[in-house]
Amino acid sequence: MAKSAPKAPDYAGAAKEQAQSSKEVTEQQTWANRADQFTPWGNQTWQNQQVWDPATNQYINRWAQTTQLDPTLDAANKAQMDTTLGRSNLANSLTGRMQNEFGQAMDWNQFTPMGDAVGSPDQVNAGNIKGGYNLTGPELDASQKYRQDANDAIYNQWAGRALPQQAKDTDRLRTQLYNMGLKEGDAAYNDEMQRQRQTQGDAMQQAQYQATIGSGAEAQRSLGMDASTRAQLTGEQQGLAQFGNQAQNQNFGQMSQQQQQQYQNMLQSSQYQNQLRQQQIAESQQARGQSLNEMNALLSGQQVNMPSMPSYNTAARSEGTQNLQAAQLTGQAELDRYNAQQQATQGMMSGIGSMAGAGMMMSDRRFKRDIARVGTTPGGTALYEFRYVFGPQRYVGVMADEVPHAAVKIAGINFVDYSR
């Protein structure tokens, strides 16, 4: 029966033993995974050397890996490196030419001038239309008045919305270029501003063209309305007025067609001139970047690569002896056994207390110590002083084996019924 709680295991010692075991396993695994490899393309070998480690104050293994190519591949690798060096030297020699190309700002005056903005077909001088009859009522001027009024109305409606927006777009672009660090005179700044002006000029030409198309129909409608009014004023002259107006309309239509054809010819000429200019600019920019593109092509060629070795199944990691866990389990087992004994003792003491309440006391000599006779009962039975093995307190009583007539055995333990 345990007399005191068990001592705690040596956890620190167990941890040191476990660390040493793990170190040995790691060293063995490292050795197992340092396999030399030999292939038709080359070989890979390992070498180790004992060196002093000041951090741990002990000698450790320092490993070195060597990769060696097959002689044929080694020669090819050297040739590849020589080729790469040659490309690099050639690219370096192009630096001066690239500096000359980019060192000078682009001369925009060398290109074909931009085509002039083409006005509406009304601005093309195709002569004057004459004819018609002077009737009472609204004046009929088929040559200019109706078409010009309709053209101005349509175009001004577009201009009232688009021109302020174009001005805002130009200011916004200029601010954006300034924020990017560009200013007037810079090539990139001039490119963007020129592109903006061209886009706005195309939009203005398109608006003028649409106004011209719409003005013809509107002029004819207005002319017809005025002619009808004049004809209604004088019934007698209605026939003549209608005839005169038809003649005027016919002349007007022919004139409009002639003006439209001239306008289209001028517009095509202006567009061709602008396309030619853009092509010249694109070719000039390509020529400026030719040396840079050639350098990039040389430097981005095939690179020298490390040959790869075949993979293999490496040694799996094994664990060292779990000394710390074993110490913890052993300590816990000892503590559990001690606790079980204590619980048994407490149970027995509880049973003894219950027996004592019934007039019986445990008097088994096996559970007593420090026994000393101190007297005799009136009946002649010896009295003893003693202590139970599970406590320090001293008692006085008899021995169950000396009073068999009063002894009672319960669960293999001798008790004495003092009422007897």
Check whether residue 337 and residue 406 sit in a common domain.
no
Looking at 284, 299, 314, the residue that finishes a domain is 299
> What's the rounded Cα separation, in Å, for the pair 376 and 48?
88
Check whether residue 220 and residue 251 sit in a common domain.
yes
Check whether residue 274 and residue 408 sit in a common domain.
no
Check whether residue 343 and residue 389 sit in a common domain.
no
Looking at the structure of the chain, the number of domains it has is: 3
pTM of the predicted structure, to 2 decimals: 0.32
Between the CA atoms of 341, 347, 351 and 356, what dihedral angle is there, to the nearest 10 degrees?
80
pLDDT tier for residue 311 given thresholds of 50, 70 and 90: confident
> What's the rounded Cα separation, in Å, for the pair 353 and 388?
14
Check whether residue 347 and residue 406 sit in a common domain.
no
Query: How do beta strands 368-376 and 360-362 pair?
Result: unpaired
Assess if residue 69 is contained within a domain: no
Mean pLDDT of 239-247: 72
Assess if residue 288 is contained within a domain: yes
Q: What are the residues whose beta carbons fall under 8 Å from the beta carbon of 13, sequence distance 6 or more?
A: 327
Assess if residue 82 is contained within a domain: no
Give the structural domain span for 253. 101-299
Assess if residue 94 is contained within a domain: no
Assess if residue 61 is contained within a domain: no
The predicted pLDDT at position 127 comes to: 46
pLDDT tier for residue 387 given thresholds of 50, 70 and 90: very high
Check whether residue 124 and residue 221 sit in a common domain.
yes
Residue indicated by tokens 């004139």: 255
Q: Annotate 176-233 with DSSP letters as a single string.
A: HHHHTT--TT-HHHHHHHHHHHHHHHHHHHHHHHHHHHHHHHHHHHHHHHHHHHHHHH
Check whether residue 208 and residue 176 sit in a common domain.
yes
pLDDT tier for residue 153 given thresholds of 50, 70 and 90: confident
State the Rg of the chain over Cα.
59
Q: What are the residues whose beta carbons fall under 8 Å from the beta carbon of 118, sequence distance 6 or more?
A: 205, 208, 263, 266, 267, 270
Assess if residue 196 is contained within a domain: yes
Mean pLDDT of 377-406: 89
Question: In sequence order, what are the beta bridge partners of 65?
Answer: 46
Check whether residue 112 and residue 250 sit in a common domain.
yes
Check whether residue 333 and residue 383 sit in a common domain.
no
Check whether residue 257 and residue 342 sit in a common domain.
no
Check whether residue 285 and residue 185 sit in a common domain.
yes
